[in-house]
Amino acid sequence: MKITIYGRTLNVYEQLIDEPQKEVNDQLNEYFNGDREIFDLEYDIPEGFVGSVLREIQKIDYGETKTYGEIADKVDSIPIAVGQACSKNPLPLIVPCHRVVGKNSVGGYLGESDSEVKRKLLQLEK
């Protein structure tokens, strides 16, 4: 499924979500309207390193951020590898990789460097 946010189209791998598309869309709309902070969806996380990073990212609360380095420490890796794993997130927004930031900058978002989309998502949550 494709969703467009702030002018950017994101691919959400719907085959990983065990919910009807209408439910996913409803929860996304609630999130953008400020009525939802946590997605209540059943979904699968990939295995391997990317999955380890995504499981750690799931622990970041709405309105909070962690650095790539903090996540790297949790998964016994390095910040750049965490950033690369974030860029492969098959469930953007649902697994909130936008909450992972650089030590001295906002960092990229799904392969973009220094993303305005990421800034807007973080602003929405503050």
DSSP assignment letter at 61: P
Q: What is the pLDDT along the chain (126 residues), one digit of tens a residue?
A: 898 888 888 889 989 999 999 999 999 999 999 999 999 999 999 999 999 999 999 999 999 999 999 999 999 999 999 999 999 999 999 999 999 999 988 888 887 766 889 999 999 998
Question: Which secondary-structure segment (H or E) carries 122?
Answer: helix 116-125
Q: Which two three-digit tokens encode residue 24?
A: 């996913």
Query: What residues are labeled active site?
Result: 97
- Residue spans of the domains in the chain: they are 2-125
One CATH from 1.20.1250.20, 1.10.240.10, 1.10.10.10, 1.20.120.160 for 2-125? 1.10.10.10
Model pTM? 0.90
